[in-house]
Amino acid sequence: MIGASKMIGASSTQTETIPKPDLSVQLGRLALKNPVLVASGTFGYAKEMAGVIPLPELGGILPKTITQNPRPGNAPWRTVETSAGLLNAIGLDNDGIDYFLANHWPYLKTAGTTIIVSIAGKSLDDFVLLAQRLSEAKGLEAVELNVSCPNVSGGVDFGTDAKLCYEVVRSVRKVLDCAIVTKLTPNVTRIVDIAKAARDGGTDAVSCINTVLGMAVDWRKRKPMLANVVGGLSGPAIKPIALRCVYQVATQVGVPVIGVGGIANMDDMMEFLIAGASAIQIGTANYYDPLVSIKLIRGLPDALASIGATTVREIVGTLKT
């Protein structure tokens, strides 16, 4: 009996000393507690979700993209469900930088996790002015440059031209000391070229990918279903495209990658990490399962253990080809 007691005690002690998995990741100068972020445009300004999920558990939050002036967005209809995702043409509906800094930023700073502020502009000057305003925001850790929204007219699509993308990133880098993430579009011939331009401009990481251009038609009325005619397709339908982009950028560019596009469960997230993403963003899945991000964070230690890993970092980019 004494021997049995000693064995039980030893076993208990041994169990207690098993190290907890390290979920932290590093994206250039940006450190995250875990690799699970919620994507801009799918999580409001975070306060709306505070009663639904524990915000401090998230690796980070990207609030709605901010522009220089308030935007009402595009005319309805602005969203259409597809058989494998969501087609949207919201048009960057937001409150503008002044209202954001005065009303949203004070709350976001108390969320208990990293906030990555998403900004978009119709011109290079817009991006610089927004960056200058954000440089005044105390506690700012990171900014995501939305150079790839497919639903806004009247400006330059900086994400489809390598030279223009470089100029935007370089100009913002001169203004901001915090981490910069550049969100790339898949609607190009070679996404690697755009990623290299962002890297050379000084980005800390790139997000792959924004939505894929698409449209929906009501054939009976002979009219497009979106008032904007075209919109951005997100959800499970674009996951293979996003995975391909992540893999190409991670293996050919040498810049940390955040995987975005169709991630809804543990298998999805692990596939992106293995393919080369250092972190991921949950987008469309937030709409039908607001708890998905928390489920992934809490399930990640077991997923890592199942392949003999104790850290997220050791599995990133380990795809065998």
Class of the domain covering 21-76+92-216+235-315: alpha beta
**What pTM was computed for the model?**
0.93
* Single-letter amino acid code for the residue at 99: Y
Contacts of 183 (CB under 8 A, 6+ apart): 40, 118, 144, 145, 146, 147, 148, 159, 206, 207, 210, 260
CB-count exposure of residue 216 (10 Å: 0-12, 13-18, 19+): middle
Cα-based distances in Å from 6 to 10, 53, 237, 267: 6, 43, 56, 41
Q: Phi first, then psi: give them for residue 199, nearest 5 degrees.
A: -60, -45
Q: What is the mean pLDDT of residues 236-253?
A: 98
Give the tens place of pLDDT for each residue, 70-126: 999 999 999 999 999 999 999 999 999 999 999 999 999 999 999 999 999 999 999
Peptide bond into 294 cis (omega under 30): no
pLDDT confidence tier of residue 158, bands split at 50, 70 and 90: very high
Q: In the prediction, which pLDDT does 148 show?
A: 85
Q: Decide if 63 contacts 115 (C-beta within 8 A).
A: yes
Read out DSSP for 232-244? EEESGGGHHHHHH
* Single-letter amino acid code for the residue at 63: P
Q: In the prediction, which pLDDT does 1 show?
A: 39
CA 283 distance to own-chain centroid: 8
Q: In the prediction, which pLDDT does 19 show?
A: 76
Give the tens place of pLDDT for each residue, 141-155: 999 999 988 767 655
- List the beta bridge partners of residue 211: none
Q: In the prediction, which pLDDT does 157 show?
A: 82
- List the beta bridge partners of residue 213: 232
Q: In the prediction, which pLDDT does 7 show?
A: 39
Least confident of 12-16, 48-52, 71-75, 211-215: 12-16
DSSP state of 52: T
* Single-letter amino acid code for the residue at 130: L
Q: Which residue has the tokens 């470089």?
A: 166
Active site residue 149: yes
Q: In the prediction, which pLDDT does 153 show?
A: 61
Q: Decide if 198 contacts 169 (C-beta within 8 A).
A: yes
Q: Which of 149, 165, 208, 245 is catalytic?
A: 149
What is the spatial distance between Cα 197 and Cα 164, in angstroms, rounded to a whole number?
Answer: 9
Q: In the prediction, which pLDDT does 17 show?
A: 59
3-class state of residue 211 by DSSP:
coil
Give the tens place of pLDDT for each residue, 178-201: 999 999 999 999 999 999 999 999
Q: In the prediction, which pLDDT does 155 show?
A: 55
CA proximity to 185, closest of 163, 215, 143, 213: 213
Least confident of 17-21, 179-183, 260-264: 17-21
Q: Decide if 86 contacts 24 (C-beta within 8 A).
A: no
Tell me how many helices (H) and strands (E) the chain has. 10, 16
Q: What is the mean pLDDT of residues 121-144?
A: 96
Q: Decide if 34 contacts 300 (C-beta within 8 A).
A: yes
Contacts of 172 (CB under 8 A, 6+ apart): 127, 128, 131, 143, 145, 180
Q: In the prediction, which pLDDT does 112 show?
A: 98
The alpha carbons of the chain give a radius of gyration, in whole angstroms, of 21
pLDDT more than 90, % of the chain: 90
